[in-house]
Structure 1
Amino acid sequence: MDGVFSFVIFAGLFYLMMRYGCGAHMAHGHHKEQTPEQPEAIIDPVCNKIVEIDKGYGKLHDGELYRFCSKECLDKFDVDPVKYLTKTDATGARK
Protein backbone atom coordinates (compact mmCIF):
# COMPACT_ATOMS: atom_id res chain seq x y z
CA MET A 1 0.00 0.00 0.00
CA ASP A 2 2.96 2.27 0.66
CA GLY A 3 4.01 2.13 -3.04
CA VAL A 4 0.54 3.07 -4.31
CA PHE A 5 0.37 6.04 -1.96
CA SER A 6 3.79 7.30 -3.11
CA PHE A 7 2.78 6.88 -6.75
CA VAL A 8 -0.41 8.92 -6.25
CA ILE A 9 1.52 11.69 -4.48
CA PHE A 10 4.19 11.90 -7.21
CA ALA A 11 1.57 11.71 -9.97
CA GLY A 12 -0.32 14.59 -8.34
CA LEU A 13 2.84 16.68 -8.02
CA PHE A 14 3.74 15.92 -11.63
CA TYR A 15 0.29 17.01 -12.77
CA LEU A 16 0.47 20.26 -10.80
CA MET A 17 3.93 21.09 -12.17
CA MET A 18 2.89 20.40 -15.75
CA ARG A 19 -0.38 22.31 -15.37
CA TYR A 20 0.78 25.36 -13.44
CA GLY A 21 4.54 25.18 -13.13
CA CYS A 22 7.54 24.74 -15.37
CA GLY A 23 5.79 22.59 -17.97
CA ALA A 24 2.77 24.87 -18.39
CA HIS A 25 4.32 26.76 -21.29
CA MET A 26 5.00 23.48 -23.13
CA ALA A 27 1.51 22.12 -22.63
CA HIS A 28 -0.14 25.31 -23.88
CA GLY A 29 2.06 25.89 -26.92
CA HIS A 30 3.95 28.95 -25.69
CA HIS A 31 7.37 27.36 -26.15
CA LYS A 32 7.76 28.38 -29.81
CA GLU A 33 10.11 31.29 -30.31
CA GLN A 34 9.71 33.79 -33.12
CA THR A 35 12.76 33.71 -35.36
CA PRO A 36 13.76 36.29 -37.95
CA GLU A 37 13.52 33.59 -40.64
CA GLN A 38 9.81 33.13 -39.84
CA PRO A 39 8.08 36.51 -39.87
CA GLU A 40 4.47 36.61 -38.72
CA ALA A 41 3.32 38.75 -41.64
CA ILE A 42 4.46 39.94 -45.03
CA ILE A 43 3.60 43.18 -46.86
CA ASP A 44 1.53 42.84 -50.03
CA PRO A 45 3.60 44.55 -52.77
CA VAL A 46 0.48 45.81 -54.58
CA CYS A 47 -1.60 47.44 -51.84
CA ASN A 48 0.95 47.44 -48.97
CA LYS A 49 -1.42 45.62 -46.59
CA ILE A 50 -0.07 43.16 -44.03
CA VAL A 51 -0.71 39.55 -45.06
CA GLU A 52 -0.36 36.78 -42.49
CA ILE A 53 2.10 34.08 -43.52
CA ASP A 54 -0.60 31.40 -43.78
CA LYS A 55 -3.29 33.61 -45.37
CA GLY A 56 -3.89 35.15 -48.76
CA TYR A 57 -2.29 34.11 -52.03
CA GLY A 58 1.32 33.34 -52.82
CA LYS A 59 3.34 33.83 -56.00
CA LEU A 60 6.90 32.74 -56.69
CA HIS A 61 8.61 35.36 -58.86
CA ASP A 62 12.33 35.24 -59.71
CA GLY A 63 12.93 32.79 -56.87
CA GLU A 64 11.25 34.92 -54.21
CA LEU A 65 7.84 34.27 -52.66
CA TYR A 66 5.42 37.20 -52.54
CA ARG A 67 2.14 37.12 -50.59
CA PHE A 68 -1.05 38.93 -51.62
CA CYS A 69 -4.12 39.81 -49.58
CA SER A 70 -6.57 39.08 -52.40
CA LYS A 71 -6.91 37.51 -55.82
CA GLU A 72 -7.27 41.02 -57.29
CA CYS A 73 -3.84 42.05 -55.98
CA LEU A 74 -2.33 38.83 -57.32
CA ASP A 75 -3.89 39.48 -60.75
CA LYS A 76 -2.53 43.05 -60.80
CA PHE A 77 0.92 41.74 -59.93
CA ASP A 78 0.73 39.10 -62.69
CA VAL A 79 0.02 41.78 -65.31
CA ASP A 80 3.06 43.93 -64.46
CA PRO A 81 5.29 42.62 -61.63
CA VAL A 82 8.07 45.12 -62.36
CA LYS A 83 5.70 47.99 -61.56
CA TYR A 84 5.16 46.67 -58.03
CA LEU A 85 8.69 45.49 -57.35
CA THR A 86 10.34 48.83 -58.19
CA LYS A 87 8.13 51.04 -56.02
CA THR A 88 9.83 53.86 -54.15
CA ASP A 89 9.33 54.53 -50.47
CA ALA A 90 8.60 57.90 -48.83
CA THR A 91 12.27 58.96 -49.01
CA GLY A 92 12.43 58.31 -52.74
CA ALA A 93 14.66 55.26 -52.42
CA ARG A 94 13.77 52.20 -54.45
CA LYS A 95 12.64 49.14 -52.57
Structure 2
Amino acid sequence: MMASRSQVLYVGMTNNLARRVREHKRKKADSFTARYNVTRLVWYHTFPRPQDAIAAEKKLKGQSRSDKIALIEDQNPDWKDLGPSVMASGRGDAV
Protein backbone atom coordinates (compact mmCIF):
# COMPACT_ATOMS: atom_id res chain seq x y z
CA MET A 1 0.00 0.00 0.00
CA MET A 2 1.18 3.44 -0.87
CA ALA A 3 0.07 6.59 0.95
CA SER A 4 0.39 10.34 0.78
CA ARG A 5 1.36 12.43 3.79
CA SER A 6 -2.35 13.15 4.29
CA GLN A 7 -3.00 9.37 4.25
CA VAL A 8 -4.64 9.02 0.84
CA LEU A 9 -4.25 5.28 0.18
CA TYR A 10 -3.48 3.28 -2.94
CA VAL A 11 -3.52 -0.53 -3.16
CA GLY A 12 -1.77 -2.29 -6.01
CA MET A 13 0.03 -5.46 -7.02
CA THR A 14 3.29 -5.65 -8.93
CA ASN A 15 5.85 -8.22 -9.98
CA ASN A 16 8.68 -5.82 -9.06
CA LEU A 17 8.05 -3.71 -5.97
CA ALA A 18 11.30 -1.73 -6.12
CA ARG A 19 10.60 -0.65 -9.72
CA ARG A 20 6.99 0.23 -8.95
CA VAL A 21 7.90 2.31 -5.89
CA ARG A 22 10.40 4.26 -8.04
CA GLU A 23 7.68 4.90 -10.63
CA HIS A 24 5.29 6.26 -8.00
CA LYS A 25 7.99 8.45 -6.49
CA ARG A 26 8.84 9.89 -9.94
CA LYS A 27 5.14 10.57 -10.65
CA LYS A 28 5.70 9.54 -14.25
CA ALA A 29 2.13 9.33 -15.48
CA ASP A 30 -0.95 11.47 -15.01
CA SER A 31 -2.38 9.02 -12.52
CA PHE A 32 -4.25 8.87 -9.24
CA THR A 33 -1.01 8.48 -7.29
CA ALA A 34 0.66 11.42 -9.05
CA ARG A 35 -2.37 13.66 -8.61
CA TYR A 36 -2.68 12.95 -4.89
CA ASN A 37 1.07 12.76 -4.18
CA VAL A 38 0.87 9.11 -3.14
CA THR A 39 4.59 8.37 -3.01
CA ARG A 40 5.24 6.59 0.30
CA LEU A 41 5.27 2.80 0.60
CA VAL A 42 3.69 2.13 3.99
CA TRP A 43 2.84 -1.59 3.83
CA TYR A 44 3.62 -4.56 1.62
CA HIS A 45 3.51 -8.32 1.64
CA THR A 46 5.32 -10.75 -0.65
CA PHE A 47 3.82 -13.88 -2.18
CA PRO A 48 5.40 -16.93 -3.83
CA ARG A 49 2.85 -17.03 -6.67
CA PRO A 50 1.30 -14.20 -8.73
CA GLN A 51 -2.19 -15.72 -8.25
CA ASP A 52 -1.83 -15.33 -4.48
CA ALA A 53 -0.80 -11.67 -4.86
CA ILE A 54 -3.75 -10.95 -7.16
CA ALA A 55 -6.20 -12.57 -4.72
CA ALA A 56 -4.73 -10.57 -1.82
CA GLU A 57 -4.97 -7.33 -3.82
CA LYS A 58 -8.66 -7.96 -4.55
CA LYS A 59 -9.32 -8.73 -0.90
CA LEU A 60 -7.51 -5.56 0.27
CA LYS A 61 -9.38 -3.39 -2.22
CA GLY A 62 -12.64 -4.76 -0.83
CA GLN A 63 -11.75 -3.89 2.75
CA SER A 64 -12.77 -0.67 4.45
CA ARG A 65 -10.38 2.24 4.81
CA SER A 66 -10.27 1.64 8.57
CA ASP A 67 -9.27 -2.01 8.00
CA LYS A 68 -6.43 -0.89 5.71
CA ILE A 69 -5.26 1.68 8.25
CA ALA A 70 -5.31 -0.96 11.00
CA LEU A 71 -3.20 -3.26 8.83
CA ILE A 72 -0.66 -0.49 8.19
CA GLU A 73 -0.53 0.61 11.82
CA ASP A 74 -0.11 -2.95 13.06
CA GLN A 75 3.16 -3.31 11.13
CA ASN A 76 4.18 0.32 10.56
CA PRO A 77 2.63 2.46 13.34
CA ASP A 78 4.61 5.59 12.38
CA TRP A 79 3.68 5.30 8.68
CA LYS A 80 7.39 5.31 7.85
CA ASP A 81 8.20 5.28 4.13
CA LEU A 82 9.47 1.76 3.45
CA GLY A 83 10.30 2.62 -0.15
CA PRO A 84 13.98 3.49 0.26
CA SER A 85 14.83 0.16 1.92
CA VAL A 86 12.78 -1.79 -0.64
CA MET A 87 14.43 0.03 -3.55
CA ALA A 88 17.89 -0.62 -2.06
CA SER A 89 17.14 -4.32 -1.65
CA GLY A 90 15.53 -4.72 -5.10
CA ARG A 91 12.58 -6.73 -3.70
CA GLY A 92 10.30 -8.48 -6.18
CA ASP A 93 6.72 -9.75 -6.01
CA ALA A 94 4.44 -7.97 -3.58
CA VAL A 95 1.01 -6.54 -2.92
Same fold (TM over 0.5): no
Between 1 and 2, higher relative CO (CA 8 Å, sep ≥ 6) is seen in: 2
Q: Which one has the bigger helix percentage?
A: 2
- Max Rg structure: 1
TM-score normalised by L of structure 2: 0.24
Q: Which one has the bigger strand percentage?
A: 1
